[in-house]
Structures are given as C-alpha cells and as structure tokens.
Amino acid sequence: MSIADVKKTTEHKMQKSLEALRHDLAKVRTGRAHTGLLDHVQVDYYGTMTPINAVANVTVLDPRTLGVQAWEKGMTAKIEKAIRDSDLGLNPAVQGELIRVPMPALTEERRRDMTKIVKHECESSRVAIRNLRRDANAALKDLLKKKECSEDEERRAQDEIQKLTDKYVAEVDKQFAQKEADLMAI
C-alpha cells in the first residue's frame, strides 16, 4: 500500500461516514413531512422484512401529511402496523386504500430532545472521522517503518490527512447547524 492509497481510502471512508450521518439525520423528523422519513420502516412482506418504499408508494399529500398507497390491497394493514410500531411516533389512519400519516406538531421540549439526538449523531460521526485519521496515521507509520517512504513524505501525508479530517469535521458541523435550524424553526 502506498501513501496515495492510504489517502484515497481514508477520504473514501470519511465520505461514507458523512453519508451515513446524512442518512441518520434524515430519520430525525422536523415538523414537515418528507418521503425519506419512512425509508427505514420495514414491513413484513410474506415473511421477509422489506423497506416500505418497496411495497408501497409514499407521497407528500400536504406539508404536514404523508400518503402511503400499498401496491397490494392486502398489505395496507401490515404497512399501517409497521408505521405505528416504528420509533417515529406517528399515528397513521387508513382511508380506503390510502394510509394518511399526519405529522404531529413538535412541542418545544420535543424539539430540544430531537436537537440532543442530532448532536449525539453528529458527535458519533466526528469520532468515526477521527478514528479514520488515527488509522491512516498508523498506516503511514507502518510505511515509514517498512522504509517504503521517507520521513518527510510521511509528515506531508499526515498533514494532508489532518486537512481531510478538518474538512469532514467542518462538514459534520455544517450538517448539525442545518438540522438544528430545521428543528427549531416553527
């Protein structure tokens, strides 16, 4: 493995960590309805746990309501139960073949709780990014020990890894600020 490989794999892993954070933050609901909210809800589809968007069409009916239309009539009750049992705190209502999922208004206390959850998710992401930096620096030290690079090259590579780390931690901070603003907006 060369210095370029270490930098490339580290950046790729940091990018994956950031994408995972974005995915986790999409689950934290604000007062508005969006289809990504139900992405992680799993439905029992003939004995197999399947994502809701694979068995139904999820749409935004209005800013505070989602509509879920099952592709098979027999799945409506199972989809409703899956949404109700999810950790999202939603209360779906069946109207014929359409499941209406209203988004309850967030109280000030609930908004603060959600902000704490978001802060925790972001901190976990920062820790993951810093761990990737530590692993990359260890790999660089290994290269130096095996005499596959000079001390100067190793030092320069460590500086570049630090710049990458700073860049991705700043991006995590930006994601946090954006989500916090969404949550606190009434």
CATH architecture of 35-102: 2-Layer Sandwich (3.30)
State the CB neighbour count (10 A cutoff) for residue 20.
Answer: 14
Q: What is the pLDDT of residues 114-166, one digit of tens each?
A: 888 889 889 999 999 999 999 999 999 998 898 888 889 999 999 999 999 99
The answer to whether the 3-27+107-184 and 35-102 domains have the same CATH topology is no
Percent above pLDDT 90 for the chain: 32
Rounded distance between C-alpha atoms, residue 172 and residue 18, angstroms: 7
State the CB neighbour count (10 A cutoff) for residue 96.
Answer: 7
Percent above pLDDT 70 for the chain: 97
Rounded distance between C-alpha atoms, residue 68 and residue 55, angstroms: 10
Whole-model pTM: value is 0.68
Largest Cα span, the chain = 71
* Residue 112: its H or E element: helix 108-145
* Domain residue limits, the chain: 3-27+107-184, 35-102
Average pLDDT estimate for 54-68: 87
CB distance 81 to 91 below 8 Å:
no
Query: CA torsion, points 85, 48, 42, 74, in degrees to nearest 10?
Result: -70
Give buried/exposed letters for 151-186 (b at 16+ CB in 10 A, else e). Answer: eeebeebbebbeebbeebbebbeebbeebbebbeee
What backbone phi and psi angles, to 5 degrees, belong to 87? -85, 15
Q: Measuring CA to CA, how many Å separate 80 from each of 13, 77, 89, 138?
A: 37, 5, 13, 49
Total number of residues shown for the chain: 186
The pLDDT value recorded for residue 133 is: 95
Instruction: Find the angle CA(27)-CA(183)-CA(64) to the nearest 5 degrees.
Output: 70
State the CB neighbour count (10 A cutoff) for residue 32.
Answer: 12
Average pLDDT estimate for 41-70: 87
- CATH says 3-27+107-184 is which class? mainly alpha
